Amino acid sequence: MRIIVLAGGLSTERDVSLSSSAGICKTLLEKGHDAFLLDVFLGFPYDPEKLEEVFTLPGHGLEIAKNISTSEPDIEAVKASRPDQSDCFLGPNVIELCRMADITFLGLHGGEGENGKLQATFDLLGIKYTGPDSLGCAVAMDKGFTKQVFLQKGIDTPAGVCLHQKQKEHSLDALGLTLPLVVKPCSGGSSIGVYIVNTEEEYEAALEKSFKYEDEVVIEDYIKGREFACGVIDGKALPPIEIIPKTGFFDYANKYQDGATDEVCPANISKEISDRMMELTVKAFHALKLNVYSRADFLLDDDGNLYCLEMNTLPGMTAASLLPKEAKAVGIEYGDLCELIIQKSLEARYQK
């Protein structure tokens, strides 16, 4: 197949996306596909009459990938590096190359790549893509709305509220909240802008920092417990994986720096808790109108209570990411997982 692996973009998870997508592109090449790694914002300036050549260029676009740093990417520098200085999210030849491909593998994380807008655009343009539909992406990207859906469907999640920037002067008492709390952007990812706060001073500082990312934040009860993730493919849950950061919690640095976190799969928990987590993952998957694949994040407290935090609609896909590790635990190797995602995406939307 001719496959565009779409990466990068302008979200704070840009570098993560480039790393995920490079792994996807490499394994698809090993599987015999004509794959090309393409930055959705920077595009690929090339002679429009020779775009067919792109799928077999020697470098396969992999030169755009780089190692993930411990700090967030400089998005303004990325914007300034685009030769045509356009503010259009779709760079030169992106639409043309995606239309030529048999399918576009979405390796984007966060922002416009994961909030349903790109998926809706591709639907209108007749471009085939991997992962959930636009509706599910839009619903799951909003953590505040996700929390409401979970509560309505009987899926335990930490109690909390959404707060707009114009409401930030409201006291914790007025919001019905007590410390300690978690403050995080409503639509962010990779734990960027997430803060655990224990004092009023920390809370005020966390609000200021989180509001730099978005105009709406989620403030929720802090649940002390073990961290887990549970993937789902085609409505079937994978074995849960436990995430054990060596310091702090599973923040941006701990997620993407070698040796910062231990990950155990299958998780060292009872069959009862494992089954319950898998059941809740599938329940959350359907409640948020998702299809194809995604990954749920959980906390397990000392009393055995499970709390579903969110669903990631385009989870990390390096060979060392959580979802591929879960798949490997049931005998699905990385390259086979990438092809399975393509197959299930085609079945979900394009093979009626």
Concatenated DSSP letters of 81-101: T-TT----SS-TTHHHHHHHS
Identify the structural domains of the chain with CATH numbers, from first to last: 2-129 (3.40.50.20), 159-221 (3.30.1490.20), 224-331 (3.30.470.20)
Query: How far is 131 from 291, CA to CA, in rounded Å?
Result: 7
Taking phi over 0 as left and psi of -120 to 50 as alpha, with beta for the rest, 269 belongs to: beta
End-to-end Cα separation, the chain, in angstroms: 20
Higher pLDDT, 88 or 68: 88
Looking at residues 154-167, what average pLDDT do you find? 89
Q: For 270, phi and psi rounded to 5 degrees?
A: -65, 160
What pLDDT shows up at residue 133?
Answer: 97
Categorize the per-residue pLDDT at 49 as very low, low, confident or very high, splitting at 50, 70 and 90: very high
Residue pair 345/103 in contact by the 8 Å Cβ criterion:
yes
Residue 251: pLDDT over 70: no
Residue 170: pLDDT over 80: no
What pLDDT shows up at residue 342?
Answer: 98
What pLDDT shows up at residue 13?
Answer: 86
Nearest to residue 345, comparing CAs of 101, 115, 139?
Answer: 101
Looking at residues 281-305, what average pLDDT do you find? 97
Task: Quick: pLDDT tens for 221-250.
Answer: 999 999 999 999 999 999 999 999 876 544
Task: Quick: pLDDT tens for 101-119.
Answer: 999 999 999 888 999 999 9
What are the angstrom distances between the C-alpha of 104 and each of 69, 141, 270, 342, 343?
26, 21, 39, 9, 12
Helices (H), the chain: 14-30, 75-80, 94-100, 111-114, 117-125, 134-141, 143-152, 172-175, 200-210, 252-256, 271-287, 322-329, 334-349
Nearest to residue 111, comparing CAs of 24, 38, 9?
Answer: 9
What pLDDT shows up at residue 259?
Answer: 57
What pLDDT shows up at residue 351?
Answer: 84
* DSSP per-residue string spanning 25-64: HHHHHHTT-EEEEEETTT-----GGGGGGGGG-TTTTGGG
What pLDDT shows up at residue 258?
Answer: 54
Query: How far is 286 from 140, CA to CA, in rounded Å?
Result: 11
What pLDDT shows up at residue 243?
Answer: 95
What pLDDT shows up at residue 214?
Answer: 80
What are the angstrom distances between the C-alpha of 133 and each of 113, 129, 226?
12, 9, 31
What pLDDT shows up at residue 221?
Answer: 94
Looking at residues 251-277, what average pLDDT do you find? 78
Looking at residues 205-231, what average pLDDT do you find? 90
Categorize the per-residue pLDDT at 135 as very low, low, confident or very high, splitting at 50, 70 and 90: very high
pTM for this model (two decimals)? 0.91
What single-letter DSSP state applies at residue 108?
-
What pLDDT shows up at residue 305?
Answer: 96
Query: How far is 8 from 113, CA to CA, in rounded Å?
Result: 9
Q: Are strands 103-106 and 2-7 parallel, antiparallel or unpaired?
A: parallel
What pLDDT shows up at residue 171?
Answer: 80
What pLDDT shows up at residue 187?
Answer: 73
71-85, 183-197, 208-222: least confident range? 183-197
